[in-house]
Homo-oligomer: A and B are copies of this chain.
Amino acid sequence: MLIVMQAGATQAEIERVLARVRELGFTPHPIPGRHRVAVGITGNPGPLDPHLFEVLPGVKEAIPVSRPYKLVSRETHPESSVVEVGGVPIGAGHFAVIAGPCSVESREQVLAAARAARSGGAQLLRGGAFKPRTSPYAFQGLGRQGLELLAEARAETGLPVVTEALDLHSLEAVVELADCIQIGARSMQNFSLLREAGRAGKPVLLKRGLAATLEEWLMAAEYILSEGNRRVILCERGVRTFADHARNTLDVAAVPAIQRLSHLPVIVDPSHAAGIRHLVGPLALAGVAAGADGLMIEIHPEPERALSDGPQALTPAEFAGLMAAVQRVRQALAPRAEPAVVPSGAPGQPS
Interfacial chain B residues near A288, Cβ < 8 Å: 289
**Of the residues B65, B69, B134, B332, contact of A329 by C-beta under 8 Å:** B332
> Could you mark each residue 42-77 of chain A with 1 if its beta carbon is under 8 Å from any beta carbon of chain B, else 0?
110010011110111000010101101100000100
Find out whether the CB atom of A276 lies under 8 angstroms from the CB atom of B54.
yes
Find out whether the CB atom of B257 lies under 8 angstroms from the CB atom of A246.
yes
Interfacial chain B residues near A19, Cβ < 8 Å: none
Find out whether the CB atom of A241 lies under 8 angstroms from the CB atom of B246.
no
Query: Of all chain B residues, which has the CB nearest A196?
Result: B167
Find out whether the CB atom of A285 lies under 8 angstroms from the CB atom of B290.
yes
Find out whether the CB atom of B260 lies under 8 angstroms from the CB atom of A282.
no
Interfacial chain B residues near A289, Cβ < 8 Å: 282, 285-286, 288-289, 329
Interfacial chain B residues near A249, Cβ < 8 Å: 239, 241, 249, 251, 253
A2 interfacial by beta-carbon distance below 8 Å: yes
**Of the residues B7, B38, B309, contact of A75 by C-beta under 8 Å:** B7
Interfacial chain B residues near A273, Cβ < 8 Å: 253
**In the bound complex, how far is the Cα of B75 from the Cα of A8, in angstroms?**
8
A103 interfacial by beta-carbon distance below 8 Å: no
Find out whether the CB atom of B253 lies under 8 angstroms from the CB atom of A245.
yes
Find out whether the CB atom of B134 lies under 8 angstroms from the CB atom of A189.
yes
**In the bound complex, how far is the Cα of B133 from the Cα of A257, in angstroms?**
24
Interfacial chain B residues near A31, Cβ < 8 Å: 29, 31, 40, 42
Interfacial chain B residues near A87, Cβ < 8 Å: none
**In the bound complex, how far is the Cα of B211 from the Cα of A249, in angstroms?**
13
Interfacial chain B residues near A68, Cβ < 8 Å: 134-135, 137
Query: Of all chain B residues, which has the CB nearest A190?
Result: B190
Q: How many chain A residues touch B (Cβ–Cβ < 8 Å)?
A: 107
For this chain, the copies found in one complex come to 4
Smallest CB–CB gap between A179 and chain B, Å? 23
A343 interfacial by beta-carbon distance below 8 Å: no
A317 interfacial by beta-carbon distance below 8 Å: no
Of A90-98, A113-121, A218-226, the stretch lying at the interface with chain B is: A218-226
Find out whether the CB atom of B242 lies under 8 angstroms from the CB atom of A240.
yes
A136-B222, A210-B211, A286-B290 known, 17 other contacts, Cβ within 8 Å? A2-B65, A29-B31, A34-B43, A38-B40, A49-B311, A51-B276, A51-B312, A55-B310, A61-B65, A187-B190, A190-B190, A213-B243, A243-B254, A249-B251, A253-B279, A286-B287, A325-B336
List the interface of chain A (C-beta within 8 A of B). Answer: 2, 4, 6-8, 29, 31-36, 38, 40, 42-43, 46, 49-52, 54-56, 61, 63, 65-66, 68-69, 75, 132-137, 166-169, 186-187, 189-193, 195, 209-211, 213-214, 216, 219, 222-223, 226, 239-246, 249-257, 260, 273-279, 282-283, 285-291, 303-304, 309-312, 321, 325, 328-329, 331-333, 336
Top-7 shortest CB links A-B: A51-B311, A211-B211, A289-B289, A328-B332, A285-B289, A167-B192, A286-B286
